[in-house]
Amino acid sequence: MNGDAGPRVAADPAHARELLRQMLRVRRFEEKCVELYSATKIRGFMHVYIGEEAVAAGVLSTLAPDDAVVATYREHGHALLRGVDPGAILAEMYGYQEGCCRGRGGSMHLFDAGTRFYGGNAIVAGGLPLAVGLALADKMAGRSRVTACFFGEGAVAEGEFHESMNLAALWELPVLFCCENNLYAMGTALGRSESQTDLALKAAGYEVAAWAVDGMDVIAVEEAARRAVDAVRAGGGPHFLELRTYRFRAHSMYDPERYREKAEVAQWLERDPVSLLHASLAAAGDLPDTEWERVQRAVDAEVQAAVDFAEAGTPEPVEELTRFVYSERGAQ
C-alpha cells in the first residue's frame, strides 16, 4: 500500500478545488451507474472506477484539446472528464440511439471523435496498439500532440504491451502510457501473474522514461503527468507512469469478489482520494463547508440531468440495425 499521508494541497487552492470537483463528478456518476445497473436499466457488463478517480482527474487535466485519449473498459470517468456529454454517456449505457455511439457500444465501448476520446476497449491491452498508431500518425504529420493511453496492470502480461512499448521507443513516438495498477487483473493478484511487480522498471527495459506515482493523490498524479506530458510534447519520446491505485468495488458488477480480504479493502478505503483531498483543503481553510455543499449539489444536479436525458432516450429503429455494419455500394 502506498503510504499513509494525505495528498499535498496544490499551491493554487482554486485549482485543487477544481480537481476535487472533477473527482467528485466521477464518483457520483459511477455511484448512480451502480444504482441504475441494480435496477436493470443498464445491462451487460459494467466496470466502475470508484477509488481510482485521482488518476483520470490528474492526468486528463494536463492534456490539450487536440491530444488523444485511449482507455479501457473501465472508462466512464475518463470519458466524462475528457468532455464527453454525461447524458450521451449514460444514454449509451442504456443502449439508446441518443448515446455517444448510438447505443451500439454500451458501457465498455464509449467513443467520441469530437473530444478525441478513442475508447473504451473491451480487450485487455487492446488500446495500446491503437495509441501507438495515433501517435505515429501525429509524428508523421508533424503535429504537436500527445496520445495518453490508460490500461490496467493486467495488460502488462499481454503481448500487445511489449510490442507497443518496443515500437513507441524505437520510433520515439509522442505517447504517454498510463498504467492504472490497481493490484488485481480481474481476480488475479499482481504478484501471482508477474515475476517483476515493479512495472515502471519493466517499462524502463524498453528505454522508456518511467516512474511510479501514488495514484491515490491527485496532486501527485497531476504533477507527474504534467512533467511527462511536457517531455513527450517536447520530443522526448514515450513516457510511462505506473499509477498505483485501488478499485474500491469488485472488478465488474458480476464479480463475487472472493479473491481479496475485506480488511485489505477497508485499509485502502482510508486513502479515498476524494475524502483525503477534501480533508486537506478543509483543514487548510481553503474549502468552507458551505462551498463544499454547493459543489456537491451542483454535481448531483449534473448527474440527475444525465439520468433524465438517458431516461428520455429511444432505442434505434429496427431498420437501422445494419447501418454501420455493412457498407452500401454507392452510399455517400
* Domain layout of the chain by residue ranges: 13-313
Written as nine digits, the cell of 62 is 494536463
- DSSP per-residue string spanning 24-37: HHHHHHHHHHHHHH
Please tell me the distance from the alpha carbon of residue 211 to that of residue 228, in angstroms, as a whole number.
10
Asked if 135 and 175 count as a contact pair (C-beta separation under 8 A), the reply is yes
Asked if 253 and 74 count as a contact pair (C-beta separation under 8 A), the reply is no
Q: Give residue-wise pLDDT tens across range 175-210.
A: 999 999 999 999 899 999 899 999 999 999 999 999
Residue 331 has pLDDT above 90, yes or no: no
Q: Is 255 or 162 the better-scoring residue by pLDDT?
A: 162
Q: Give residue-wise pLDDT tens across range 61-101.
A: 999 999 999 999 999 999 999 999 999 999 999 999 999 99
Looking at residue 325, what is its pLDDT?
82
- Other CB atoms within 10 Å distance of the CB of residue 246: 24
Asked if 120 and 111 count as a contact pair (C-beta separation under 8 A), the reply is yes
298 to 27, 131, 183, 218, 305: CA distances (angstroms): 13, 34, 33, 21, 11
Lowest mean pLDDT among 164-168, 218-222, 250-254, 276-280: 250-254
Written as nine digits, the cell of 298 is 451542483
At residue 304, what is the residue type?
Q
- Where are the extended beta strands (E) located within 2-79? 68-70
- The pTM (predicted TM-score) of the whole model is 0.93
User: With pLDDT > 90 as the criterion, what percentage of the chain qualifies?
Assistant: 87
CATH of domain 13-313: 3.40.50.970
